[in-house]
Each structure stands twice: as C-alpha cells, then as structure tokens.
Amino acid sequence: MAHAIRRWTVAAAAATAALTLLAACGGSADPESKKADEITFWTPQTTPDRVAAQEAIAAKFKEKTGIAVKVVPLSEADQRQALVTGAASGKVPDVMLHSAATTANWRSQGLLDTKAAKQVVDDLGAGTFNKNALQSFSQDGELGAVPSDGWVHLLVYRKDLFQAAGVAAPTNLEELAKAATEMKKTGVTGIALGTQSSTPSGTEAVYSIWQSAGCELVKDGKVAIDSPECTRAAELFKVLRDSSVQGDFDVTSARAAYLAGKSSMLLFSTHILDELAGLDKANPATCPQCKDDPAFLAKNSGFITVLDRDHPAQYGATLGYGIPRGAHTNEAKSFIKYVLDEGYKDTLASATEGRIPLRNGTSSEPNAYIEAWAKLGIGPERKSSVTELYGPEMVTAIRDGINAVHLWGMGTKDSALAGAVTSQGALAEFLDRLYNGTPPAQVTKDMAERVKKIQAEL
C-alpha cells in the first residue's frame, strides 16, 4: 500500500472547497435543540476503497441507532481551512478524523469541544487507550480529540546482507550511522530515507532520526533545536544521507530502492509490510530474488520498531476523532464510541497497515483490539495477516513501536508552535546547507532562529 505522504501546506484551492463543503455540514448554532437524524463525518481516508469501508461502518451504525452518517472524504489540509470557514458561519461537521498536530491548532483557536472528547474517553475507559496518544491529543491535561489509530516508522534491514557483511543490527542512532556506512562499502545504499531538502519526506526523516538522538524542538517554551543533542543528530543525519549510492531520496524512491534490493536499510512506515510480502501489485518487490519468490524481502528483512529502547521516541502519525463546537454533540459522541468499540475492527481493517489501534482493548480484555488487528488481512486483497506473514513477535514489536510514538511539542503548551513548524516544513529547508558543508552547529543555530521567528508570529 502506498505510503500516505502528509502535506505540510494548505492547498490554494482549499478555501474554495471549504465553501462548497459547508452545505454538507451537520452542525448549527443550536445543535442540541433537537435530535439529529443525520450527522456529518469528515475523514482524511479519501481513497475509494477506504471511503467505501467507512460508509459501510456508517451504515451499520445507522442500523443500530437510526442515525445516518454522511461520510465526507476531505484531506486534512482542506479540513483545516473548511472548519475555520464553517465555524465563522455557524455550519460545522459533527465528527472529524485528524492528526494530533491539527488538534493542537484547532484547540488553540477554541474550535473543539474538549468536554465532549473527555466524556467519550471516560465512557470507554481512559486506561484502555495508548497513554502517549492521550498525551499527544491533550494540553495541560485537557483532551482535544479521542485517539483512534496511527502508524509508526519502521527501520527495515536486510538480515542476509547484514550477516554476509558481518554487521550487527543497530540499537541506537550512533550504531545506525556506523551500520549504514559499513553497508555502503558492499556496493549498496546503506539506508534509504527521505533526504530531499524542503520536502515532506525530508521533514519526516528529520523528525524520526533526530528524536532518536534525544533531540527536542522546544522545551517549556524555549527553542531547543540548537542543543548539543540536536547538533549531533544533524551530524549523524548527514552520515546517513551520505551512505546513499543513488543520491537523495523522497519517500517513494526510498521505498523503490529497498524493494529493488539496492539498499540494505529503509526508513518507512508500517505501510511497507504488504509490499515486502509481494502483496501490492502497484508497488511490487523487484529485487533479483523476488522474481522467483515475491515474498523474499519479507522473509529476509528484520524490523526495528523502537531504535533506542533506553530512550524510546519513535516517529509516527496518530489520528483522533474531534467534535467541533456547534456540532450535534450527543450523536457525535455515540458515533465515535461505536467506531472505537463495536465497529473498531472494521475501522482498522479499512487500511490495516496504517491503522494500528491506539485503543488496545477494553477494560475486561486489555489486548482485544491489538490482537484483532494482528489477524486482519493486509494489502489490497487482504488475504494474509501480519501474524501469518511475520509472526506474533512482529505484532508485539509494532505494539511497542506505536506505544513509543513521540511527537515534538504534542501534549504541552508548545504544541501550537510544534504544529506550525511541522506544517511549514521549516526544518527540512536547511538540509541543503547541511549537505553542502555548513557546520552542523551552524545549521541547528539557523534552524533555531527560524523556529523563534515562527514562535513570535503565533
């Protein structure tokens, strides 16, 4: 399944699209004056098969409650613009699925019904949710949205190539850089990851790698991207980038390099799992051995879901359900509780590799949903599960990875700043300077000045 690259800038057409979408919104200035027969749900899961899956879940919800749900596929960038426009006119949707960063943005603007989100979590049981996810969607202990699902970055490596080269699997960033350098000596790219400057792929890779070095964007309101930890992360990031024998990568070309057997390691999301097993015809494994055995890479790849277990801080994406102010709150809460309980398995199955549960189970069955997820089919045809392809140990490793997801600034007063830096792709703008010889300490200093400028504009 193709990795969904998040777009950091709002499309110019979003404002026009927002005006059209307002007619599909279910909320009003007096949303609780009467019970709603239909509510509106905005979702960033916009591909035809995912929309169809969500519509099927909505139909089951209607059968149970009598409440119809209008599923509106809408990218997160368009959601951001449309909600602001809708809030100003008094026309808003009832439920929205969105990231932690967008949650922080909307929460700072007073657009979310935080009380309603807390009520849903309390009803389902806060202890049944991923603790890091609850923090990511909160600020000062106040929840902005209800965690649903997400994906986590995996470090995938060729076990056969590592063994032949006598290189051990890395357990921290320093070892990762050394391994990439050593593997390049064998004639392949050491590691394929997003290294293109000023791109979403570069932004994701910076966040993923730098967090693993203990680097923080901001601490208690003070910009920290120029700390010694971040400067060392910049040095090691350049080492990783220089391990390529194919130039700089975006997320698509990085994946292609590993699938072709031209890279010994790959930094990618859990969306890669079906492709390694030869289950996605749109993104086939093309390594020399893959012709005779399409699952060769799945069999010969190792997976690191938490790079540094002493300081777990994995990059990933988390999605949650938000209820805007002015929505039909009671009906919205009922729908969210349904899709996170009775309809949760179907929700996760709409895109298994990229929708790892952030609610692991119920109070009586703490691991019910992660165990159900492990048995869901992956790939376009959904024929084989993660457990069948990679074993139960992989399920445990992925659970550990999603539980270790760390997003800069999320869950703190710095969440709005972190979200703004992310949406603008501010850090990846400096990668060319790093590659072209500017000392890492100067690069991180320049980054810090850029972040401070964004901070002053908030």
Mean pLDDT along residues 157-182: 98
Mean pLDDT along residues 324-353: 96
Per-residue confidence at 26, pLDDT binned at 50, 70, 90? Answer: low
Helices and strands: H and E segment counts in the chain: 21, 14
Mean pLDDT along residues 124-141: 92
CA dist 27 and 39 (Å) reads: 8
How many CA atoms within 13 Å lie on the side-chain side of 321?
A: 28
pLDDT at 362: 96
SS3 286: coil
pLDDT at 423: 85
Q: Is CATH 3.30.2090.10 what the domain over 152-314+407-457 is classified as, yes or no?
A: no
pLDDT at 141: 83
Residue 423: both structure tokens together: 């949406």
Per-residue confidence at 14, pLDDT binned at 50, 70, 90? Answer: very low
pLDDT at 236: 98
For the chain, what percent of residues have pLDDT higher than 90? 84
Q: Would you identify the CATH topology of the domain 14-150+316-398?
A: D-Maltodextrin-Binding Protein; domain 2 (3.40.190)
Mean of per-residue pLDDT scores for the chain:
92
Residues 6+ apart with CB under 8 A from 448: 223, 224, 225, 226
**DSSP 3-state helix, strand, coil percentages of the chain (rounded to 5)?**
50, 15, 35
Above 80 in pLDDT, residue 342?
Answer: yes
Higher pLDDT, 146 or 411: 146
What does pTM read for this prediction?
0.89
Above 60 in pLDDT, residue 18?
Answer: no
Residue ranges of the domains in the chain?
14-150+316-398, 152-314+407-457
The answer to whether the 14-150+316-398 and 152-314+407-457 domains have the same CATH topology is: yes
Above 80 in pLDDT, residue 7?
Answer: no
Above 80 in pLDDT, residue 2?
Answer: no
Q: Write the pLDDT tens digit of every residue in 282-301.
A: 999 999 999 999 999 999 99
pLDDT at 25: 62
Q: Kindly write down the DSSP assignment for every residue of 41-97, as one continuous string.
A: EEES--SHHHHHHHHHHHHHHHHHHS-EEEEEE--HHHHHHHHHHHHHHT---SEEE
Above 60 in pLDDT, residue 110?
Answer: yes
For the chain, what percent of residues have pLDDT higher than 70? 93
Mean pLDDT along residues 224-228: 98
Q: Which of 27-36, 56-65, 139-148, 253-262 has the lowest mean pLDDT?
A: 27-36
Per-residue confidence at 5, pLDDT binned at 50, 70, 90? Answer: very low
CA dist 47 and 301 (Å) reads: 29
- Do the Cβ atoms of 215 and 233 come closer than 8 Å? yes
Above 70 in pLDDT, residue 377?
Answer: yes
